[in-house]
Structure 1
Amino acid sequence: MALRRGRTRAGAGAPDAPGGGPAVELRGVTRTYGRGRGTVHALRGIDLALERGSFTAVMGPSGSGKSTFLQCAAGLDRPSAGTVRLGGTEITGMGENKLTELRRTRLGFVFQAFNLLPSLTVEQNVLLPLRLAGERPDRRRAAEVLAQVGLTDKARRRPGELSGGQQQRVAIARALVTRPDVIFADEPTGALDTTTASEVLGLLRSAVDLLGATVVMVTHDPVAAAYADRVLFLADGYITDRLERGDATQIAARMAALTTPVYEGAGA
């Protein structure tokens, strides 16, 4: 299933969003947890720039730093060192209130567990980011994004009345409603069967191709990663490899060959 072409490209409605530069940029980003002998080096100097209108998958073995990478890139966690820029705005030293506002207005999130509020209708769930941002709920905008994900007739339903795939499509509509600079997806197909996962990945691919969205997706699945323009491979907090437009077989082979670099400063 593909998105229907919308009226406005992603990011166009974001307040104070600069017009140029990468959608996501990390420079010298490290993240450590704990102290002394118990210190964990989750990220070890990430240098990366992802252009607007691109789809990037991030893969790696358990403990490689995938989740920490996504959290730092999305402003959900602060790096120990280095800088993060989203849509041209540096967020590293941003105060929590401004950072929360930025996440609500200029970022979209899609999670494995859907994270829909069961007491709200589909339409109300989609409009929630606008409400949280203090904006007037725009039912026409909700109808637009629900049409794009093929759920026009489900606006009045509640999440419990939908299948898992339909709930994830609602989550994608919610992520698109603010026309964000970047959509961050964390294992978005982890709870779905193969056919439904393919539909959801097709929606994310179409968000990039038709709406100009930027998607950064963490996944363990080579088939899911094959929908992306590029795959970044993480191991022990480093980006150790990358693959442009790879198929699932190539991606699986790169994953199998992952090794931890023995030099400092490995990056993209």
Structure 2
Amino acid sequence: MDHAVELRDVRRTYGRGGQAVHALRGVDLALPRQSFTAVMGPSGSGKSTFLQCAAGLDRPTSGAVLLGGRDITRLGENQLTRLRRTSVGFVFQSFNLLPSLTVQQNVLLPQRLAGRRPDRRRAAELLARVGLDGQGRRRPGQLSGGQQQRVAIARALVTDPEVIFADEPTGALDTVTAREVLGLLRHAVDTMGATVVMVTHDPVAASYADRVVFLADGAPAGELAAPDPAAVADRMVALTSRGPLGAAA
């Protein structure tokens, strides 16, 4: 199967000796193209480190990360920067839009950073797809939180990346708006061929994914296919009650 992202025995350790923190402990995972994967786990399970290593924002201590079949752990910093600008899209909890730029300029920013000619027609098409047709001249401060996250999704899609990494994308939104944003991510996978990897703590958000991958103590702790919120919540309760390194809490 063609995979957008692969992690092969990825380990990430911070510090040395007795003070070492093992954030990831041998993660093996393959994420198919045009799929929606949610990553969940208790606090301190390694979710953020997983996302940072998978997206090329941090280097694993050992193991390999492949993006579109290319081992990004072998790339230099300049090569990694170029790869992130062309092959990776990001959606963050806090939107991370530049307030001094218009909506259209924010969407086109990844193209500019990648040295491409800004494609205004592409930006307008994506804004229409996320329900912001005709809003390109407005500033982020004139939009609601949900609208700003829609802009962030359009921005993540503008370079046709190998994968979109979403870090708690609905954490700052109300329930209704969160569902709309999750529906847009689902739509991007189903109709635009996107690949989405989403870190979340919310079982309802996770239910929009094709599967949920659970982490505990930096290691894989099972998966759920075609997840529903109740099953995801039950699995999270079980993982949280295990305590560190699988011990009973």
| TM-score when normalising by structure 1 | 0.89
Name the SS of the counterpart of 2:74 in structure 1: coil
CA contact (8 A) 1:28 1:82 kept: yes
> Equivalent pairs: percent with the same residue?
75
CA contact (8 A) 1:238 1:261 kept: no
What is the aligned partner in structure 2 of residue 11 from structure 1?
A: none
Q: Does 1:30 align with 2:6?
A: no
Superposed structure 1 runs of 4+ greater than 4 Å apart: none
| Larger relative contact order (CA 8 Å, sep ≥ 6) | 1
Match of 1:162 among 139, 143, 165: 143
* Residue deviations 1:76-103 (CA, integer Å, cap 9, x gap): 0000000000011110010111111110
Q: Does 1:257 align with 2:233?
A: no
* Residue deviations 1:48-69 (CA, integer Å, cap 9, x gap): 1010000000001110000000
What is the aligned partner in structure 1 of residue 161 from structure 2?
A: 180
Unaligned runs of 5+ in 2: none
CA distance in 2, matches of 1:202, 1:106: 23
Q: Does 1:200 align with 2:214?
A: no
What is the aligned partner in structure 2 of residue 121 from structure 1?
A: 102
Match of 1:41 among 17, 22, 35: 22
Name the SS of the counterpart of 1:42 in structure 2: strand
Name the SS of the counterpart of 1:234 in structure 2: strand
* Residue deviations 1:175-194 (CA, integer Å, cap 9, x gap): 00001110000000000000
Residue type of the alignment partner of 1:158 = R
Per-residue deviation, 1:152:
1.2
What is the aligned partner in structure 2 of residue 5 from structure 1?
A: none
What is the aligned partner in structure 1 of residue 205 from structure 2?
A: 224
CA contact (8 A) 1:222 1:249 kept: yes
* Residue deviations 1:78-134 (CA, integer Å, cap 9, x gap): 000000000111100101111111100111000000000000000000000000001
Tell me which protein shows more helix as a share of its residues: 2
* Residue deviations 1:168-219 (CA, integer Å, cap 9, x gap): 0000000000011100000000000000000000000000000110000000
| TM-score when normalising by structure 2 | 0.96
Q: Does 1:136 align with 2:142?
A: no
Unaligned runs of 5+ in 1: 1-19, 263-268
Q: Does 1:100 align with 2:81?
A: yes
CA distance in 1, matches of 2:43, 2:14: 17
What is the aligned partner in structure 2 of residue 234 from structure 1?
A: 215
